Every structure is written in C-alpha cells, then in structure tokens.
Amino acid sequence: MKGPVLITGAAGQLGTELARVAWPASLRPVAPPESSLDITDRDSVMRAVEAYEPAIVVNTAAYTAVDAAETHEAEATRINDTAVGVLADAAGEAGALLVHVSTDFVFDGSAGRPYDEDDEPRPVSVYGRTKLAGEGRALGAARSLVLRTSWLYSAHGTNFVRTIRRLAGERDRIRVVADQRGCPTAAADLARTIVGLLDREREPRGLYHAAAPDDATWWDLARESVDAMSPPGNAVVERLSSAEYPTAARRPADSRLSSARLARDFGLQLRPWRDALADVSAELNAAALPLGADR
C-alpha cells in the first residue's frame, strides 16, 4: 500500500505513538490537531479528506472514560459511534481504507477463555456498547479494517500505568482490583502493528484482535509498574475484589483477546506485556530524572 495516511486522535496515546513510529517511504502519515480535524463535525472531516487526499484513514480518536460514559452516553455515542460513520462515509468518498481501533470491552467476560473474532460481543457498559456500534459503522465502509485491542498504556496521556506510578509516589498503600483479567498492550506496539499491516501489497480488511499475547490482572500490572519505578516506588500494592471496588460501569471479569488470527494471516505478534512495560517504564523513569541527572 502507498499514499497519504490521515490519522485522527493525534493527541491520544495511539496517535502519539503513530507519530513516533518509523513509517516506510511509501506511506506518508499526517496527524492534524483536533482543532483542525474534529471527527464529530462532518464538514471538518470532509475538509481534511479533501485537503490530504488520504489513501488510508486511521481512526484512533475515542471517548475512553468508561465510568463517565454511563452518565454521558450521548457524548460517548457521538464520538465512538456516530463519528465513525462520518469517517466511513468520508473514506468511501475518497476511495480510502478506513482503519478503526476498538476494544476488548465489547465482550462481557463470561467465556472463561480468550475471545477470538468469531465470538459474539455482549458489552456490559455504555462504553462497550458505543464502541461495538462504532465497529459496525466501520465494517460497513467500502474498505475497512477494525482492530480490537486491550488495556492500552504508554508513557504519555492518561492511562493505568501512569496513574499507578503517580499514586505510588503519593501513598504508602495502593489497593487494586485483582479479579479482572485482560491483555495489557503498549500503544507503541499497537502502532508498530498498524504500520506493519499497512506496509504490504495485500490490503488488510475485516476484523482482527491485536493485543499482547499474554494476560494479567490489574493487580499484576500495578505491581509490575511500581516495581519498575526508578527511584523505587514505596507503595505496597494490595489486592481488591471487584465487589470491594464498585464502579459506575461494569467491567468484564475476563476480557482476554486471542490475536492468533493476526499472527496466522499476517505473521504479526505483539510483545509480551512485561517486555513492553519495561520499555514504557524506562521512558517514564528517564522523564522523571531531575534536569542534568545522569540518564
């Protein structure tokens, strides 16, 4: 594939990593700020498509505040569902491939095994329902690829790893849910996977899972994040049950994703989450060093 790649959600975790990753010369990424590309504004989207004439549109923008979505359903729907339809229309008019990123939260977590692409989604939250609706909009485009991922984190933006590190610097003890399981995925690894999918003659289409190949609980991820801090985090990470930590939105107890189809069809596999976390932790540790300190 070749040509311009229009990226939405430039300021988010994945958008930032797509700006940092190495792209082949045949693909020319452009990531306008939200001030000039608002995916909820049809005119804004059409202007961007006319200006950049993309061969590919990669949508990384989303409403990701899972709990807040329960009381802000209209806004979550506008961004996660309706806006994806706008992008699908615009990509179709431009003859472009639409790449859309979705989530493991489209499942209810009751399968007791990793979910594959043939499993029926049953979201248990507004966030999950709106993301599933957005998948339908994207898959209805003339040419589209939907990638479901899981528990995304990075060295920037708002995410679980950064929150835990902050809390570890403020508290002696952190209580974290230990009975929800998923596949923590580094945004940088997902960005490299997206580029790997696009940098080939055969155009990728359809629905694929793209997550770390191994799983963890939130407690596992928190403990490893604190252990990797430098200077060391002093907080003790304690286990909680979901019942002891009620939230506005229900979370799936086991939303593990199988990315075997991605490996089979394209030879692509993301790194184990501990390996990826080590790199993210090193970047955060370096950023936390005082100016002039030995890095």
**Phi, psi of 172, deg, nearest 5:** -85, -30
User: Going by C-beta distance under 8 Å and a sequence separation of 6 or more, which residues neighbour residue 211?
Assistant: 104, 148, 149, 150, 151, 182, 183, 185, 257, 259, 270
Residue 114 contacts residue 256 (beta carbons within 8 Å): yes
Q: Please report which helix (H) or strand (E) contains residue 224, including its range.
A: helix 218-227
The residues that are catalytic are 127
| Helix, strand, coil abundance in the chain, percent, nearest 5 | 40, 20, 40
Beta strands in the chain (DSSP E): 3-8, 27-30, 56-59, 97-103, 144-149, 152-153, 173-177, 181-182, 185-186, 206-209, 216-217, 236-240
